[in-house]
Amino acid sequence: MKRCNSLPCLKEAGKRSKNEVELIKEELHIPSSMIDFGKNKKYYIRTYGCQANERDSETIAGILAELKYERTDNHNDADIIILNTCAIRQNAEDKVFGEIGSLKALKKNNPNLIIAVCGCMVQQEKSVEIILKTYPQIDVIFGTHNIQRLPSLIEQCLRNKAKIIEVFSKEGEVIENLPIQRESNLKAWVNIMYGCDKFCTYCIVPYTRGKERSRLMEDILEEVKELKEKGYKEVTLLGQNVNAYGKNLDKGYDFADLLEEVAKIGIERVRFTTSHPWNFTDRMIDIIAKYDNLMPFIHLPLQSGDDNMLRKMNRRYNSEEYRRLHDKIRSTIPGVAVSTDIIVGFPNETEEEFQHTLDMVDYCKYDSAFTFIFSPREGTPAARMIDETPMNVKMERFNRLLEKVATYSRMRNEAYIGKTVKVLVEGVSKKNDDILSGYSESQKLVNFKGNKDNIGKIVDVKITDITSWTLLGEEVNG
Ligand code: SAH
Ligand code: SF4
Ligand code: F3S
């Protein structure tokens, strides 16, 4: 089969220039043959990875809706299948390869089916090579910087009867006004910036997502106002490192200013993710404490509690600075919950170094923690470091950490028993039709007996019991 290529290059993607970020505000280009192309056809999107990908999938859905495609949740019914992938760890990639493999039969039954793979994984030359070599069923491969080109790429694929690969490895621009079909009518993701310039040594994101670039504050505020008018109850401001918001714009405003302006719009709930412990300013903490609609929940990725590890990871803070920041957050923001990310088994981590991570978990007593075993990502500095720690040792440490994390999560949850919390009711519980579920202000999943008419509203729930990961209760006056 023919191929039209623009292949990824991680090395190029890791470069950073001082060039200004281009702001693009034009309409989506749709080739004339594509205008009604999706009529009576269906699309299926499967999303892997983080909220940035979830949000990108909403744009892809918006673009496909412009082509008049309808959505289906069953890939057997689809005329086009999009896999929006993640490359953060090897197991994320393995899941995608598994799914691609299983699509082969579908393509055989329906040769007109178009299968496309996009997202972070295809920003890596190695993964694209594997797809090309092993999975002929894939028709289109497009990168994180090429989403708005989807109508043209489908058109090229059909016209040339060729496999299309378009993955740019550039620093990226900011594109406004792309169409969007949101997943929820209650909670919305709002991008505030793209990319990452932190280059933590283990992490592939700065290569797959380009350089840090912020949206203009006026565009973000406009979006939040519109969401409020449409009845949305919650927005989550998204960036790989939201503390860096505004830095490339030279407008004199920063993330604390943005938070304050978003809070003033008066939408019920405002969240954000992810805030790096480096550059987390006192002003940010004070503003979160000041506004009731800025939710008391902070995700503060630790990665390691050991100074030597933190240095090798290029995290830009030491354990003492982290501890101080954690204390300030807990003491200033009433009712705050703190969660974290931790990596076990960074190259040559010793038992003593790992112990420092456990010490930090004992100190911070996190409300919750996402824990990962280090996964070497080709092209990153950590993947080139010598690592002599055997996997069974890493696994054993990982399990010790998991146990500790669960203990503190349960302990934090126990403190809620007998208290009343505000819950945004999202729907009936997945497991039991009589039980409603939603999240508290401090981002605890709450399952409770209540009135179904209150789905979509914020209600008071009295907490009567807990598990390690959830709160259980009854709606007050429900
Ligand atoms: N920008 C976010 C992180 C996004 S990735 C931040 O800095 O907080 C989410 C988490 O995945 C990271 O916090 C880290 O704990 C983990 N992670 C990233 N790269 C990894 C790797 N190569 N191996 C294992 N875990 C990794
Ligand atoms: Fe990755 Fe570090 Fe950037 Fe987070 S801050 S995306 S961990 S490089
Ligand atoms: Fe994965 Fe890319 Fe997000 S690597 S975690 S989807 S930024």
Q: How far is it, in rounded angstroms, from Cα 160 to Cα 55?
A: 31
The pick from 124, 127, 208, 341 for probing ligand 3's pocket by mutation, whose C-beta has the most ligand atoms within 8 angstroms, reads 208
Tokens of 260: 């304050």
List pocket residues of ligand 1, CB cut-off 6 Å: 50, 88-89, 202-203, 205, 240-241, 274, 276, 301, 303, 341, 343, 372, 374-375, 377
Which residue minimizes the CA distance to atom 2 of ligand 1? 240
Residue-wise pLDDT tens digits, 178-214: 999 999 999 999 999 999 999 999 999 999 999 999 9
Residue-wise pLDDT tens digits, 78-109: 999 999 999 999 999 999 999 999 999 999 88
25 vs 432, higher pLDDT: 25
- Report CA(281)–ligand 1 centroid distance (Å): 22
- Report CA(232)–ligand 3 centroid distance (Å): 26
> With contact defined as beta carbons under 8 Å apart, do 373 and 395 qualify?
yes
Beta strands 193-194 and 213-214, pairing class: antiparallel
| pLDDT-above-70 percentage for the chain | 99
The residue to which tokens 């993955």 are assigned: 167
- Res 430: pLDDT: 78
- Res 3: pLDDT: 61
Exposure class string for 264-293: b at 16+ Cβ within 10 A, else e = eeebbbbbbbbbbbebbeeebbebbbeeeb
The pick from 89, 120, 196, 245 for probing ligand 2's pocket by mutation, whose C-beta has the most ligand atoms within 8 angstroms, reads 196
| pLDDT-above-90 percentage for the chain | 95
- From edge to edge, which strands make up the β-sheet containing 187-191? 187-191, 234-238, 269-273
- Res 477: pLDDT: 83
Residue-wise pLDDT tens digits, 297-312: 999 999 999 999 999 9
Judged against a pLDDT cut of 90, whether residue 28 lies above it is answered with yes
In 3D space, the residue among 321, 232, 230 whose CA is nearest the CA of residue 276 turns out to be 321
Q: Rounded to the nearest 10 degrees, how much is the dihedral formed by the CA atoms of 311, 313, 315, 317?
A: -30
Judged against a pLDDT cut of 90, whether residue 2 lies above it is answered with no
Cis peptide, bond prior to residue 208, ω within 30 of zero: no
The pick from 144, 194, 198, 213 for probing ligand 2's pocket by mutation, whose C-beta has the most ligand atoms within 8 angstroms, reads 198
- Report CA(313)–ligand 2 centroid distance (Å): 10
Residue-wise pLDDT tens digits, 209-243: 999 999 999 999 999 999 999 999 999 999 999 99
The pick from 16, 53, 200, 245 for probing ligand 2's pocket by mutation, whose C-beta has the most ligand atoms within 8 angstroms, reads 200
Report the DSSP beta bridge partners of residue 448.
Answer: 436, 473
Query: H or E segment at 425?
Result: strand 420-428
> With contact defined as beta carbons under 8 Å apart, do 266 and 225 qualify?
no
- Res 172: pLDDT: 93
Which residue minimizes the CA distance to atom 3 of ligand 3? 50
Q: Kindly report the backbone phi and psi dihedral angles of residue 375, in degrees, each rounded to the nearest multiple of 5, phi listed first.
A: -125, 115
Provide the mean pLDDT of the chain: 96
Q: How far is it, in rounded angstroms, from Cα 322 to Cα 330?
A: 12
Residue-wise pLDDT tens digits, 350-376: 999 999 999 999 999 999 999 999 999
List pocket residues of ligand 2, CB cut-off 6 Å: 196, 198-200, 203, 205-206, 240-241, 276
**CA of 357, nearest ligand number:** 1
Give the mean model confidence (pLDDT) for residues 391-411. Answer: 98
- Res 60: pLDDT: 98
Neighbours of 430 (CB within 10 A): 9
In 3D space, the residue among 293, 236, 290 whose CA is nearest the CA of residue 263 turns out to be 293
| SS3 of residue 151 by DSSP | helix
Residue-wise pLDDT tens digits, 313-348: 999 999 999 999 999 999 999 999 999 999 999 999
Judged against a pLDDT cut of 90, whether residue 1 lies above it is answered with no
Locate the ligand 1 atom nearest the alpha carbon of residue 380 and give its number: 22
Residue-wise pLDDT tens digits, 249-262: 999 999 999 999 99
Locate the ligand 1 atom nearest the alpha carbon of residue 203 and give its number: 19
- Res 431: pLDDT: 81
Q: How far is it, in rounded angstroms, from Cα 10 to Cα 31?
A: 30
Give the mean model confidence (pLDDT) for residues 104-126. Answer: 95
- Report CA(202)–ligand 2 centroid distance (Å): 9
- Report CA(88)–ligand 1 centroid distance (Å): 7
- Res 434: pLDDT: 85
Give the mean model confidence (pLDDT) for residues 52-76. Answer: 97
Tokens of 321: 């600075």
Tokens of 161: 């009867």
Neighbours of 418 (CB within 10 A): 9
- Res 26: pLDDT: 84
Tokens of 178: 């792309």
